[in-house]
Amino acid sequence: MKKPVLHAVTTGKKSIEETASICLDISPHVEAIHIREHTKTAREIYELGKKMIDFGIPADQIIINNRVDVAAALGICPVQLGYHSLPVNVVKESFSRLSIGKSVHSLLEAVEAEEEGADYILFGHVYPTSSKKGLTPRGLDELTQLISNVTIPVIAIGGILPSNAREVIQKGCSGIAVMSGIFDAVDPVKAAIDYQNHLELIFHEQFL
């Protein structure tokens, strides 16, 4: 059993320069960094990705959300597709080298994503979160059901804290994804290290 992974996901609230700087600082402490900037243009997302690469962040650690064109232009293989994106199999037909994750919000969407050829699933939101105000979280029961019905890795997202990460990992998640818990933290590096320390502890307790 592999150690659970930590994905850091940008919030779209900060400038390109500030976001790139935070990404550089936290990169030694996370397995992946998602560029999730829904309010920025393709040019701005490209500029952010290029700045991150120029800073020395490995391209294979960066995941571009939704913008397959930007990922291709930057030579970045990992992409994350949303529910409104093109189907996974359609993207893979044109970009066979890409590693593709799919964001899902139900068991039906998860099964469909796996059938389409997704390499992993990002499922949420699991817990209440400020980024999904007014929306009922999916919860652990739905997470458990989903994990038992797919064979590809599942990454949990939404309201995940160091204190509740154990619950989702014990359900069978391959890792967690964190947005505001890292990018909105007073000290993003400290926050990333705290999450990683908890994942290390969970791994050593449960899987060794």
- What positions carry a catalytic annotation? 125
**Residues 147, 178, 86, CA angle at the centre, nearest 5°?**
65
Side-chain-side CA neighbours of residue 200 (13 Å): 9
d(Cα 187, Cα 84) in Å, to the nearest integer?
Answer: 33
Query: What is the H or E stretch that residue 159 is in?
Result: none
Report residue 52: phi and psi, to 5°: -60, -45
**C-alpha closest to that of 196 among 1, 16, 28:** 28
Distance between first and last Cα of the chain = 8
Cα dihedral angle (66, 69, 74, 79), rounded to 10 degrees? 30
**Pair 84, 68: CB distance under 8 Å:** no
| Structure-block tokens of residue 90 | 């359609």
Number of other residues whose CB lies within 10 A of the CB of residue 36: 22
